[in-house]
Structure 1
Amino acid sequence: MKKKAWLITIVLLLVLFLGIGVKNHMNKEAQKKEIIEAEKLIAQDILKKYQGIHKITFNDLAYSSESGAYDIYFNINEDKNYFFYNYVNKNDFRDVGEGGHFLYKYFPKKSPNSKEPSTKDVKIKYYDKVED
């Protein structure tokens, strides 16, 4: 009888640990999806507001558990300057500027009636690495 109880305990512990592992993996996948969606929104916002954008390379991010916000870092057109947006959700994101490197200082703003290029017309490299 003791052997059966131990076997049941071991099986239950294995199921518990596997369940935790699967949940963590699913959380990471959901987080990756959320990051890519955020980067797409940011790319659309940049293309809507600024001229002369040919390439956007998202290359890093930082997450603040206190505010629940991501700082999403990127380069534009192979420029050495890093820019970043603060992203909380799809309705709350903004160009924050890294060390005063605001986009409007480097790229001319679009006129209200200028044609907005599609994200298909611009080379975009997404960053979706999630920390453990």
Structure 2
Amino acid sequence: MYVVWGSDREASKRLYDKLNDPLNVTYDPSLYSEEELIEKLSVCSLSINFKLHANILSLAGNVPCIALGYRFKVFDLFQSLGLENLVVSTDSDTLALDIMEGIREIELNNKKIIEQYKNRKEQFSPLIIEPIKNNFTVD
């Protein structure tokens, strides 16, 4: 377990304590730069993330992830990436089961998921960069 925002340390520690599985779960309260976090994630086979930015960093590091959907922006991002099946709503009555289904999906389709992310990134990047290059002016 890791945090991407200092204010999440306390809640993350409570969750870690509730999991009570130190053999399989590690808690790291350190805040890392994007590059450091991507490097740390690169040894993982998947990640389960609450924060939107953590999901993006995971995918950027070629690590498929399960997004815990707590706000519209999470669902929206994963829909736009074509990865909506990897979002689990935090208010789901079957949260644990839904997460396990996501894990199975990743185990079966790891490379396909990362390719999907890369294809969408390639598709959307010019749409983001072009307005910046043009100083946000419209012809």
Q: TM-score, normalising length from structure 2?
A: 0.22
Structure with greater strand share of residues = 1
Structure with greater helix share of residues = 2
Higher relative contact order (CA 8 A, sep 6+): 1
